[in-house]
Structure 1
Amino acid sequence: MSESFSNCKKAICFGEILWDNLPSGRLAGGAPMNVAYHLRKLGVDALLISRVGGDDAGKELINFVSSIGIPPNHIQTDHEQSTSEVLGELKANNEMVYTITYPTAWDFISLQDDLITQVAAADVFVFGSLAARNEISKNTLLALLEHAKFSVFDVNLRAPHYSRETVSTFLSKADFAKLNENEIMILGEWFTAEKEENAIVNALMQQFKLSEILITKGAEGGTYYGIKETINYKAEKVEVVDTVGSGDSFLAAFLSKKLAGEEIKNCLDFASKLAGFVTSQKGACPIYDINELAF
């Protein structure tokens, strides 16, 4: 599986790669991998920076990443830490709750010489809070952010693997933040005196000098907040197979259109359609050809 990426936009996704042990079976996962996969399906030359163990699980992950079209060149191998395994449990409201082991290989992503060059050349750098739970990966991430042209913070809070201090640090480094309706209220309690979403967002954008905030709200759609406009969007009505990775596909689709210079409303419409499609499929990285989908 290969796409052509001559003269196209470039993206770097940084963070966790793992095996999700779900009620439906064992699947490769991690938000950065999912985002990179969909960006590449949508014509963006996306690379993944992560780390796996030198065990069989790590070799299987690298083989999987290669099989879905993501170059494995920047997935490091750790000979002391094991590959990440996560237990996912489905709750009554279709929300997946994860038990994530610590430490694991992606907690030790090292700052290799070529990574700075790659990030500096990329149009967008996407990262989350989970990969910053350990000082090694956190310091690598902070170093890379100094060279990013445009940084996207996929907040992605997973208890107990985050802290107010770390989230504050990375909000201050980001240009764009993507989070869900629960996470915006947590940030509101931490950093503002506000109670309403709109007021919380305005306070966060001023305090951390963010240019854009995107809030996803599951079946209710979501809201985009920019410097000049606020836009609500509706979620696609689909038969839900599973919700794993739907937010990642939404972010990738939104960014692909934003990088192409599309108006924000068009970015949101396209992202909502792709997220709806992914929700109607099994797994976060279903096989598809965007030119063959009816949107």
Structure 2
Amino acid sequence: MIQNQLKKAICFGEILWDNLPSGRLAGGAPMNVAYHLRKLGVDASLISRVGDDQAGRELIDFISSMDIPAENIQIDTEQRTSEVVAELKENNEMVYTITYPTAWDYIVWQNDFEAKIANADAFIFGSLSARNEVSRATLLQLLEHAKFKVFDVNLRAPYYDKDSIATFLSHADFVKLNENEIAMLGDWFTAQHHERSVVTALMEKFQLSEILITKGADGGTYYNTNQRINYQAEKVVVVDTVGSGDSFLAAFLSKKLAGEEIVYCLNFAAKVAGFVTSQKGACPSYDTASLGF
């Protein structure tokens, strides 16, 4: 197997407390992705912002306890740390109520960011982190210096619009999204309705090199300019689906950055995401060797 050789990744955006039906957990897609990347052998870090409050201090303590560097977590003296209320609906789908504004809406540019981003093998970002103009401006500046830009679309109503998504697609190299999101992007940006035709049109319009569509229990499909590869989801007893997509993306990227074949990356990611779905929370403790990964 090809060794990872401590590839570097930086995740940008929201970190928060998820108030779930089962209790309070630290969350946010960028943090979840960073956690799993580090678990899987990538030197991942996080750029975000918390309030100068008890919730913020507890969040930084948690991040540090997860072995995620907190050096790029900014402290905001005016905005509060983000809190989210999550409700479990039918089909094990989580619906989130996300407060606005919060500290991570005000991530500001730091002079040392340019070198850090330029030195990273992957830069991962989502649409939610750009709902406010301050963090959006910082994100766009970061994208100018990133080598390999991974856009985890992650639409959260009402915090997105067609123009913003078009901007981020035009900056991205790799896009991860779900079935609902690919349908929406197809309606917005193409005259196509069949998945493969939509993907081809999006790749051409935005000069994308890779698109990964996750389909929950039905697995998903990976596309690049030469390949279309389906993968199967692991059959597990679902405890909750919080963070399963984040773990899938992290696991896939950990192997892709290591130079593994795409089929292997997809199958490995499905195993990791299946395990996470069978556990409570987005960041369960695990050891890849003992789990047979």
Q: TM-score under structure 2 normalisation?
A: 0.98
Q: Which amino acid is the alignment partner of residue 121 of structure 1? A: N
Show the 5 A alignment for 1:20-169.
20-169=18-167
Contact 2:173 2:208 in 1 (8 A): yes
Question: Of the candidates 167, 180, 183, which is equivalent to residue 181 of structure 2?
Answer: 183
Q: Which amino acid is the alignment partner of residue 47 of structure 2? A: I
Q: 1:197-217 CA distances to partner (integer Å, 9 max, x unpaired)?
A: 111110000000000000000
Q: 1:24-45 CA distances to partner (integer Å, 9 max, x unpaired)?
A: 1110000000000000001100
Q: Which amino acid is the alignment partner of residue 111 of structure 1? A: W
Q: 1:30, 1:95 → 2: CA distance?
A: 16
**CA shift for structure 1 position 89:** 0.7
Q: 2:117, 2:24 → 1: CA distance?
A: 31
Residue matched to 1:209: 207
Secondary structure of 1:110's counterpart equals coil
Q: 1:294, 1:260 → 2: CA distance?
A: 18
Residue matched to 1:200: 198
The runs of 4+ residues in structure 1 deviating greater than 4 Å are none
Q: Which amino acid is the alignment partner of residue 48 of structure 1? A: L
**CA shift for structure 1 position 6:** 10
**CA shift for structure 1 position 259:** 0.4
Secondary structure of 2:239's counterpart equals coil
Residue matched to 2:271: 273
Residue matched to 1:252: 250
Q: Which amino acid is the alignment partner of residue 99 of structure 1? A: T
Q: Which amino acid is the alignment partner of residue 178 of structure 1? A: K
* CA RMSD of superposed structures (Å): 1.1
Contact 2:4 2:41 in 1 (8 A): no
Unaligned runs of 5+ in 2: none
Q: 2:202, 2:4 → 1: CA distance?
A: 37
Contact 2:4 2:255 in 1 (8 A): no
Contact 2:126 2:153 in 1 (8 A): yes
Q: 1:6, 1:274 → 2: CA distance?
A: 17
**CA shift for structure 1 position 8:** 1.4
Unaligned runs of 5+ in 1: none
Q: 1:217, 1:265 → 2: CA distance?
A: 16
Q: 1:4-26 CA distances to partner (integer Å, 9 max, x unpaired)?
A: x9951000000000000110111
2:251 aligned with 1:262: no
Aligned residues, how many? Answer: 291
Q: 1:109, 1:116 → 2: CA distance?
A: 15
Q: 1:103, 1:164 → 2: CA distance?
A: 21
Q: 1:153-200 CA distances to partner (integer Å, 9 max, x unpaired)?
A: 000000001111110000000000000000000101100111111111
Q: 1:53, 1:99 → 2: CA distance?
A: 19
Q: 1:269, 1:248 → 2: CA distance?
A: 15
Secondary structure of 1:290's counterpart equals coil
Q: TM-score under structure 1 normalisation?
A: 0.97
Contact 2:5 2:258 in 1 (8 A): no
2:222 aligned with 1:224: yes
Q: 1:149, 1:124 → 2: CA distance?
A: 7
Q: Which amino acid is the alignment partner of residue 168 of structure 2? A: F
